[in-house]
Amino acid sequence: MPVDSDFGGCFKVVVILAVILVVFAWIFVQSGTLETRQEVFIKDGMPYTTTRYFFHWDRFFGYIKALPGRASRLFTSTPDPLAPMK
């Protein structure tokens, strides 16, 4: 006797969320949002190294705002200035 399951609907939601997460991560990396700096300091006569993480959300949103311009340049044919004239 077949049992109806709602697992198919749950799977679709999980796949959609995974795709959204992958797109966000790709844009996050491509835009250079995360900046890391290593700082060395001396405490009690011992050198310590720490890593500071800086998030530049202006770069992230600037990357997203520039996507339409990038897409139009990608699909617009412009003549190559180095190509010989025919």
pTM over 0.85: no
Residue 56 lies inside a defined structural domain of this protein? yes
Beta-carbon count within 10 A of 27 CB: 15
Residue 26 lies inside a defined structural domain of this protein? yes
| 14-55 confidence digits (pLDDT tens) | 999 999 999 999 999 999 999 999 999 999 999 999 999 999
Residue 4 lies inside a defined structural domain of this protein? no
| 73-86 confidence digits (pLDDT tens) | 777 766 666 666 65
Which residue reads 């995974």 in tokens?
A: 18
Domain count, the chain: 1
Question: So what's the pLDDT on residue 67?
Answer: 86
Residue 64 lies inside a defined structural domain of this protein? yes
Domain range for 53:
19-69
The DSSP H or E segment spanning 63 is: helix 57-65
Distances (CA, A) of 83 to 18, 77, 86: 44, 14, 9
Residue 33 lies inside a defined structural domain of this protein? yes
Amino acid at 47: P
